Copies of this chain bind each other. A is one copy, B any other.
Amino acid sequence: MSYTIKDVAQKANVSVATVSRILNNLPGYSEKTKEKVLQVIAEMGYQPNAIARGLINKKTKTLGVLLPAVSDTFASVVLSGIEDMAHELDYSVMVCNTDKDGKRTMKYLQALREKQVDGIVFVSEFFKEEYYNAIIAMNLPVVLVSTKSQYDIPFIKVDDREAVFDGVNYLLERGHRSIGMIAGTKGDPIATLPRIEGYKRALKEKEIPVDKRKIAFGDFGFESGITAAKELLDQNEDLTAIFCSSDEMAAGALSYLYRMSIRVPDQISIIGYDNTKVAEMAIPPLTTVGQPLYEMGKSAVKMLLDRETAEQKSVFMPHHIVERETVKVIENKETE
């Protein structure tokens, strides 16, 4: 059993109030008693009990983070940013693996509420109405990372429409005219639809007709990249490039092309999305449109904790194309 502030007070011959004041740097004691108390504390190895503290000042200095699959490369980088910034500001973080369905999320939300976290960051998951209700009921600051909602909840993400526009434009500028797309989950209003729009807009600006058969859907994971790539290749003979909505799917595409002995980028160019470590480690190293995942995590907690004072607004983070070795320049634009 650990020592309490009472033990310290007793041993130092002062009241608990004095010890508390010293611990919290409040005025009200002489230099001499301060030294005495500090010495006693060191001797006993006393550590304040944050639970008792939390009970009285209604702040726990801990944050909740909800994300689908911690082991996902994407989410884990965001988490890492969150964790670092939280640590800098003396907060702890509770991770909640929501596992891509709903019931678990609600259970977590309840647990976080009971445990009195000071704020919640919600990563990349689709934000259901149910969650919104739960969250306003607990009256806590929340920020969304890499997702958004129809509600008035601040988010931090890149502008997907612009980002994929730039990505496929990058391909276009290098002479590609028949470009496939491996999109995310079909119908996803956050991470799929806007990206498809970006893709279409880029094509339209170059007056290239969009062809449904050039769009395949996946679930952002490696396996789905394989099957989507196969689908695309089977349905289109003239493809010279594929835009992938995640690096993992791009890795899947790469893997499929390797198995088919189709050389990248000589025969087909590939561009990914996210710029996770997967892109760096790919063979060949993957050109990708990068999101500042780590910084997004950091910003999220900064924003979350600022909210106590100022009301904050959503922010679009900058994206940028990371050039590596999976995109080839095509000289003759035969398609024109």
Seen from chain A, the residues whose Cβ lies within 8 Å of a Cβ on chain B are 2, 45, 47-52, 54-55, 60, 62, 69-73, 76-77, 79-80, 83-84, 87, 90, 92-97, 104, 108, 110-116, 137-139, 222, 248, 251-252, 254-255, 258, 277-278, 280-285
Contacts and interface: CB of A to CB of B under 8 A. Distances in A.
Contacts of A138: 2, 47
A114 B280 contact: no
A138 to B, nearest CB: 8
Contacts of A222: 277, 280-281
A228 to B, nearest CB: 15
A69 B76 CA distance: 9
Contacts of A92: 94, 96, 111-112, 115
A5 B294 CA distance: 41
Contact of A69 (B47, B80, B114): B80
Contacts of A48: 114
Nearest to A107: B87
B62 A110 contact: no
A76 B80 CA distance: 11
Contact of A80 (B2, B70, B248): B70
Given A113-B47, A277-B222, A95 B95 contact: yes
B71 A84 contact: no
A113 B110 CA distance: 24
Given A48-B114, A50-B116, A70 B79 contact: yes
A94 B62 contact: yes
Given A62-B115, A104-B87, A258 B281 contact: no
A227 B320 CA distance: 28
* Chain A to chain B: the 9 pairs with minimum beta-carbon distance, closest first: A50-B114, A71-B80, A71-B76, A283-B283, A83-B97, A50-B115, A76-B76, A251-B281, A51-B54
Contacts of A281: 222, 248, 251-252, 255, 278, 282
22 contacts: A2-B138, A2-B139, A45-B137, A48-B114, A51-B55, A51-B60, A70-B79, A71-B77, A71-B80, A73-B277, A83-B97, A87-B96, A87-B97, A87-B108, A90-B111, A92-B94, A92-B112, A92-B115, A222-B281, A248-B281, A255-B281, A283-B283
Contacts of A80: 69-71, 97
A190 B307 CA distance: 45
- Looking at A72, A73, A92, A252, the one whose CB has the most chain B CB atoms below 10 A away is A92
